[in-house]
Structure 1
Amino acid sequence: MYALVDAVSMYASAEKVFDPAIRNRPVLVLSNNDGCVIAACPIAKRLGLKNFVPYFQIEKQARAVNAVVRSSNYALYADLSSRMMDVCELACSEAHIYSIDECFLKFDFNDAEQNWFAFGEALRRKIWKEVRLPVGVGFGPTPTLAKAANHAAKKVQGFNGVAVLSAAEERNRVLSMMAATDVWGVGKRLGRRFDDMGIKTAQDLASHCPLNIGKQFSVVVENTVRELNGELRLSWHDVRPDKKELYSTRSFGERITEKEQLRYALTMHAQIACKKLRKQNSGTKSVVLFAASSPHDTKGYYKETVFKQFPFATADTRVIVAAVSKAVDKIYKTGVDFYKCGVGLLDLTEQFQSQGDLFSSSPDDTQLMRCLDAINTKFGRNALQFAAVGAEQKFHMKQAFLSPRYTTRWSDIPRIKC
């Protein structure tokens, strides 16, 4: 049996953990630079406030319902996520963290030996007691059915935070109430093709012949159909394979006009991307660097991109930073108000399978990078970083509604007076 534990509106719920005064109010969390709504609590959704819309479009509506607006507080969310995952990992011998708010659990004992509803309720109460995050728990004989059960636990009437899809009758009932695009791994593009075939619901998809679906689409979609019918086809590796490309991009809180500030920003993104690269034990054979103004600027739109290939796969931040330093002269243009920049690592390969170069040796220092990552893991992000990032950065994110970092900053730790 598999279970998927998923926090309800993770970012918005996290904002309520250390601020009980807003627990019964609608809460919205905004994206980088306070641009779009990326999380709305259930109360906000019931009042018509939606995710993934520019904040300025719903600002008046949010004020009218006395909504609480917060800037993204990633340090707080990551810490609360870690605490939630710790509780989940204690619930079984095998757990797989899928994202910041989702965790798969695998159980080896027989269905008949366990009351899954009671187990799910106990796990929800435990997470609420320890972390104060509301979660939904879905159980199924495959990861795909566990994901569908979690959807039912949170969104299908009749379930109260826990759903179990072990019996065929219950499974068919729930799948018939789910759209095909609600199935894990089925996006809008695939959903449109399904719609043309008359596949409207998840049950319609499950009823199709897996082999025929595989021939028309791919073995991945075939496995999805098989999993909807209770046949285990996915492993943890299939659930979250290594990424083939890695990017770090962000718009600026204030426009950049100076070359050095642009250099600092690109170097910062190089650091972030390389850390992600080493985390999945990969190397990159090429890098793309870009910077652009806003398409809405009166001066006209400007964007410049530089592509750099390496003779060997590298995971050394120093190599990427050196490429940034050379590229800035080509990217920068006097008079442009830069709005956004980023670094992309392409042609990723597993480090132990990387091909060397006959005529040049790799300058990578694996031990140095391992030491750098260990220090930043122990003492906090960017505790140790490259001087090329600069001492005075003028491109910090706009975070006008940022809440305190209650668990990761000494000055923000809550004080209780008795």
Structure 2
Amino acid sequence: YIRRYVMDRFDVADVWGVGGATARKLGDLGIRTAGQLRDMPLRQARGLGTVVLERLVAELNGVQADAVELVAPDRKGMAVTRSFGTPIADLEQLMGAVSQFAMRAGEKLRQHGLVAGRMAVFFHTNRHKPDRPQYGASRGGALHPMTADSFELISLARRLVERAYRRGFEFTKAGIMLEQLAAADARPRTLFEDQDQSAQRERLMAAIDDINGKFGRMTVVPASQGFKRPWKMRADMNSPAWTTRISDLPVVKA
């Protein structure tokens, strides 16, 4: 009784989910309170305000239309992909680019406290230039044991690229995808895994993350990634780094 009493005196425009335009449409139909909206036929509500208004009417009648997700779902996968600023035809340059993606993927895994059990690598030419030779490839492989070690990810990524690479093509995009993710503290151990070596590698990854976090992401990089990086990703639309790079400060001329 109290619920109906309140609804019958509650302005429909103040109901969460009812915008100004919808409130005006409802007013034209003589619906000015939450109680009148509650009594609106579901089919009419859907016709007036799509499925959103239909669900709102159902909820006013005590029907749960959407379950609230209080716990975030487990991540199923993770990807690092980029388009190249300059097309890549050379195998070593392509492996250098993919090595950087694998390094970044390892950082992301560790940030989220995850490990991966499988990796896929892909690369392809520019599909929007059909007059150019076209080729695209994707290869996958297992990570055994499951890991977030960037060097292990780089090692597998380079092997997968080498298997799929073909000469005579200019590649414009590549990336890696990680699957079979699990919490790092709950990952299954293998029979022949060297626990001491695993602990050392974890400390090494933590040290690299600390240095790159303090001095910049590219401070410590594997040599396999290369240093000149002629394939550097496109960053034409990046915002200026006014607070961290003096060369980006705006200059006012009189």
Q: TM-score range by the shorter chain?
A: 0.7 to 0.9
Q: 1:400 to 1:353 in 2, by over 3 A?
A: closer
1:310 aligns with 2:143: yes
1:256 aligns with 2:106: no
Taking the aligned partners of 2:17 and 2:156, their CA distance within structure 1 comes to 56
Encode CA deviations 1:168-226: one digit per residue, 9 max, x unaligned.
Answer: 75125625857xxxxxxxxxxxxxxx9xx86715222222269x987xxxxxx731xxx
1:411 aligns with 2:243: no
Taking the aligned partners of 1:173 and 1:304, their CA distance within structure 2 comes to 46
- SS for the counterpart of 2:15 is helix
The corresponding residue for 1:355 is 188
Q: 1:401 to 1:272 in 2, by over 3 A?
A: closer
Taking the aligned partners of 2:141 and 2:214, their CA distance within structure 1 comes to 33
Report the alpha carbon displacement of residue 392 of structure 1 after superposing the two structures with TM.
Answer: 1.3
Q: Does the CA-based 8 Å contact 1:271-1:317 persist in structure 2? A: yes
1:170 aligns with 2:14: yes
**Aligned to 1:374, which of 210, 217, 231?**
210
The corresponding residue for 1:395 is 231
Q: 1:403 to 1:283 in 2, by over 3 A?
A: closer
Structure 2 unaligned runs (5+)? 1-9, 23-42
Report the alpha carbon displacement of residue 378 of structure 1 after superposing the two structures with TM.
Answer: 0.8
Between structure 1 and structure 2, the one with the greater Rg is 2
Alignment of 1:216-227 (within 5 A): 222-223=66-67
Report the alpha carbon displacement of residue 386 of structure 1 after superposing the two structures with TM.
Answer: 1.1
Q: Does the CA-based 8 Å contact 2:149-2:205 persist in structure 1? A: yes
Structure 1 unaligned runs (5+)? 1-165, 179-193, 215-220, 224-232
Letter in 1 for 2:14: E
1:200 aligns with 2:32: no
Q: Aligned pairs, how many?
A: 217
Taking the aligned partners of 2:240 and 2:210, their CA distance within structure 1 comes to 26
Q: 1:352 to 1:252 in 2, by over 3 A?
A: same
Q: Does the CA-based 8 Å contact 1:282-1:351 persist in structure 2? A: yes
The corresponding residue for 2:29 is none
The corresponding residue for 1:340 is 173
Q: 1:415 to 1:337 in 2, by over 3 A?
A: closer
Q: Does the CA-based 8 Å contact 1:175-1:203 persist in structure 2? A: no
RMSD: 3.2
Q: Does the CA-based 8 Å contact 1:283-1:348 persist in structure 2? A: yes
Encode CA deviations 1:270-296: one digit per residue, 9 max, x unaligned.
Answer: 111111111110000000011111223
Taking the aligned partners of 2:107 and 2:238, their CA distance within structure 1 comes to 25
Alignment of 1:278-293 (within 5 A): 278-293=110-125
Q: Identity over the aligned pairs, expressed in percent?
A: 26
Q: 1:202 to 1:175 in 2, by over 3 A?
A: farther
Alignment of 1:9-408 (within 5 A): 169-172=13-16, 174=18, 177=21, 200-208=50-58, 222-223=66-67, 233-235=68-70, 237-238=71-72, 241-297=73-129, 298-361=131-194, 364=198, 365-400=201-236, 404-408=240-244
Q: Does the CA-based 8 Å contact 1:277-1:315 persist in structure 2? A: yes
- SS for the counterpart of 1:336 is coil
Taking the aligned partners of 1:299 and 1:170, their CA distance within structure 2 comes to 59
Taking the aligned partners of 1:267 and 1:288, their CA distance within structure 2 comes to 13
Q: Does the CA-based 8 Å contact 2:133-2:169 persist in structure 1? A: no
Encode CA deviations 1:277-336: one digit per residue, 9 max, x unaligned.
Answer: 111100000000111112233244311111110232201001001112222221221101
The corresponding residue for 1:101 is none
Higher RCO (C-alpha 8 Å, min separation 6): 2
Q: Does the CA-based 8 Å contact 2:124-2:174 persist in structure 1? A: yes
Q: Does the CA-based 8 Å contact 1:176-1:201 persist in structure 2? A: no
- SS for the counterpart of 1:333 is coil
Q: Does the CA-based 8 Å contact 1:175-1:201 persist in structure 2? A: no
Taking the aligned partners of 1:318 and 1:295, their CA distance within structure 2 comes to 31
Taking the aligned partners of 1:360 and 1:399, their CA distance within structure 2 comes to 41
- SS for the counterpart of 2:174 is strand
Report the alpha carbon displacement of residue 416 of structure 1 after superposing the two structures with TM.
Answer: 7.9
Q: Does the CA-based 8 Å contact 1:176-1:203 persist in structure 2? A: no
Q: Does the CA-based 8 Å contact 1:286-1:310 persist in structure 2? A: yes
User: Structure 1 runs of 4+ off > 6 angstroms?
Assistant: none
TM-score (norm. length: structure 2): 0.73
Encode CA deviations 1:6-64: one digit per residue, 9 max, x unaligned.
Answer: xxxxxxxxxxxxxxxxxxxxxxxxxxxxxxxxxxxxxxxxxxxxxxxxxxxxxxxxxxx
Taking the aligned partners of 1:402 and 1:357, their CA distance within structure 2 comes to 44
